[in-house]
Amino acid sequence: MSALIGKKIGMTRLFDEQGNNIPVTILEAGPCFVTQIKTKENDGYDAVQLGFDPKREKLVKKPQLGHFKKAKVSPLRIIREFKNIETDQALNLGAELKVDQFAEGEVVQVTGRSKGKGFQGGVKRHGFGGGPKSHGQSDRLRAPGSLGQSSYPSRVLKGTRMAGRMGNDRVTLKNVRVVKVDPENNLLIVRGAIPGANQGIVYIKKK
């Protein structure tokens, strides 16, 4: 199996043998449990469904509880399907997957949800420079400027960059290098920043 569900713990830094500063993100990767194995014969496609993060049984609805009992695992909070991944033929329902499937120096793909910024103006959302700071434009410092198209086509074109909701998008980072693996604490340390706030759910997959 070449995928895991994890949680972003936070950022820190490490030093290599030459003393270079390496910014890293610490991820709590697994343990995950196989809750369902889908095949083309039964479901029309191949996929493996994983569960992560224990959940109290009293908070789980009966249909979901039956799904977990069929897989012989305790209720889990996060359920995710992974397609087009390397699947071990011996993989069975209820199998436990840990972070030791990854190795130092390996390249992985990490998907998370970016921080939501709410409704923001054009300067913050798109990096606009704003208007001039003089010549009587004291109230136009952070304005986006003209939006119209003169007499033709006399409308605002679709896709014009304006103020609006920012963030809370699904972001996938490719070519993320694994710096260190800590199987005892289920930690995966990767180079650079990962999208999302601390304690946010991330999906880790080998390329």
- Give the model confidence (pLDDT) of 80-90 as tens digits: 999 876 655 56
**What is the SS3 assignment for 40?**
helix
Main-chain phi, psi angles of 63, to 5 degrees: -60, -40
CATH topology of domain 3-117+173-206: Elongation Factor Tu (Ef-tu); domain 3 (2.40.30)
| Domain range annotation of the chain | 3-117+173-206
- Of 6-15, 56-65, 77-86, the one with minimum mean pLDDT is 77-86
What is the H or E stretch that residue 83 is in? strand 76-83
- Residue (of 132, 135, 153, 156) closest to 143 by Cα position: 132
pTM: 0.84
For position 1, what pLDDT does the model report? 62
Of 10-24, 42-56, 84-98, 181-195, give the lowest mean pLDDT range.
Answer: 84-98
CA distance 143 to 23: 36
pLDDT in tens, 113-155: 999 999 999 999 999 988 888 888 778 888 888 888 888 888 8
Contact between residue 143 and residue 176 where contact means Cβ atoms under 8 Å apart: no
Cis peptide before 63 (omega within 30 of 0): no
